Amino acid sequence: MTKLSRHSNTRSIRRTPRILTVVPICDGHDSAIVTINFEFARHGIEVIYLGYHRSVRDVVRAAIQEDVQAIGISSYNGGHIEFFSQVLRMLRDEGAADIGVFGGGGGTITAPDVRVLKRRGVDEIFLAGTPLESIVEFVRRNYSKPRRGIARANLDGPLNDLELGKLLTAAEVRSKPSPLARGPSTTVIGITGPGGAGKTTLIDELALRFLNSQARGRLAILSHDPSLAAKGALLGDRAGMVNAQQDRVFMRSIGTRGKPGGLAAATRRSVEILKHGGFGLTLVESAGIGQEDLPFARGVVDKQVLVMSPDYGSRLQLHKIVMLETADVVVVNKADLPGGRTAYSELEQRLASNKPRPKLIATVAKRHRDPGVDELFKEVVS
């Protein structure tokens, strides 16, 4: 048994608030929240954006897995009293009542509604016409304090998402090795590539195949996105994922927080925790990388997948991408684009001299049931 008390450890680091933002189920009004997300990130807040049309369960699950200080809900389509109340109730049921809830939503939330919502435990509702600065100020003032750590976690037994979430936060702070680094471990796949190659979509499709391939096992995803110079970050990978937002997937978004190369300082420790967290498979997505980057060089993962899109430029560029020398699998995603076939054959030649020769797979991740993604899935689980 290990006693985890994060109070003293986390306070110094977690000065920047980490929050989750979302638009409720059956609501597609995302223009306000998109603007606010950027504003948050610009002002040093780490924002995990869950996207629009998300259920209460999706919201609470993500908040717990991401171990955020607060949830911001932007609701324009009515039914807000129910939605906010259900989020609060479910947070309580899951033992995460200390996660704050705030929100807003144009004219549909009336003054009497605000009174009801506050009575039920919502921290603040911002009405139409509120200047963005005051929302940012509110978040910085109220959600900078770290949340309670888990007083004790039975690290011998299986961890629930709440414990795992907090353990990962602790790993971001403490440089000690994970207390979990014992017991059976599972395969960890590193997925990297330049920004915009479609890594997130590919991972979401791999998740779907994983979930369909077995009835019970869980999948872990550790997803990196760059932090801004101001220390804030917009971690938006969840928003584009339609398959991976469900109970059998544990996903954690992590900002690179100033570390170059596609990963974060805490990556290794986080992977160690996930690896022993009882998952059937762990996928680690790097932030978009440059030509020289080798994010997984130091043995963090069991297999390295490099995802590229056909628009890498001239053929000469392929000889500058160092990652092509170490990848176990190279994927040409967006293979349906005009340059798809050219890219495939140029890469084929480029990889011909590698030993061992990496597997080259063409995928169209955006296409449902893409055979290329099937092949990639077989390759990563083999």
Question: Any contact of residue 377 with other proteins (CB under 8 A)?
Answer: no
Contacts of 269 (CB under 8 A, 6+ apart): 171, 172, 174, 175, 177, 178
Q: List CB contacts of 320: < 8 A, sequence separation 6 or more.
A: 291
Q: Which of 16, 45, 83, 346 binds other proteins (CB under 8 A)?
A: 83
Nearer to other proteins, 7 or 119 (CB): 119
Nearest-angstrom CA–CA distance, 204 and 366: 10
| Segment contacting other proteins by CB under 8 A, of 95-103, 157-165, 223-231, 237-245 | 237-245
For residues 161 and 370, which CB has a smaller minimum distance to other proteins in the complex?
370
Q: Does 127 bind other proteins (CB under 8 A)?
A: yes
Any contact of residue 381 with other proteins (CB under 8 A)?
no
Torsion from C-alpha of 210, 18, 37, 243, nearest 10 degrees = 10
Question: Which one of the spans 10-18, 54-62, 250-258, 374-382 is the region binding other proteins (CB under 8 A)?
Answer: 54-62
Of 227, 196, 222, the residue nearest 207 (C-alpha): 222
Segment contacting other proteins by CB under 8 A, of 105-113, 175-183, 213-221, 258-266:
105-113
201 lies in the binding site for other proteins (CB under 8 A): yes
Return the beta strands (E) in the chain as ranges: 2-3, 18-22, 46-49, 70-74, 100-104, 124-126, 152-153, 188-192, 219-225, 233-235, 249-255, 281-285, 303-308, 329-332, 359-362
Q: Choose, by CB under 8 A, the member of 121, 217, 240, 339 that binds other proteins.
A: 240
Classified as helix, coil or strand, 49 is strand
Judged by CB under 8 A, does residue 104 bind other proteins?
A: no
Angstrom CA distances, 142 to 72, 99, 221, stand at 12, 11, 29
| Partners of 70 in beta bridges | 19, 100
Which of 5-13, 55-63, 307-315, 356-364 is the region at the interface with other proteins (rule: CB under 8 A)? 55-63
Q: Out of 35, 130, 154, 349, which residue is the one contacting other proteins (CB under 8 A)?
A: 35
Helix (H) or strand (E) holding 329: strand 329-332
Query: Which is closer to other proteins, CB of 81 or CB of 294?
Result: 81
CB of residue 146 to other proteins, shortest distance in Å: 28
The residues pairing with 126 across neighbouring beta strands, listed in sequence order, are 104
Closer residue to other proteins in complex, CB, 78/217: 78
Which residues form the interface with other proteins (CB under 8 A)? 25-31, 34-35, 49, 51-53, 55-57, 77-83, 86, 106-108, 110-112, 127-129, 131, 201, 204, 236, 239-243, 366-369
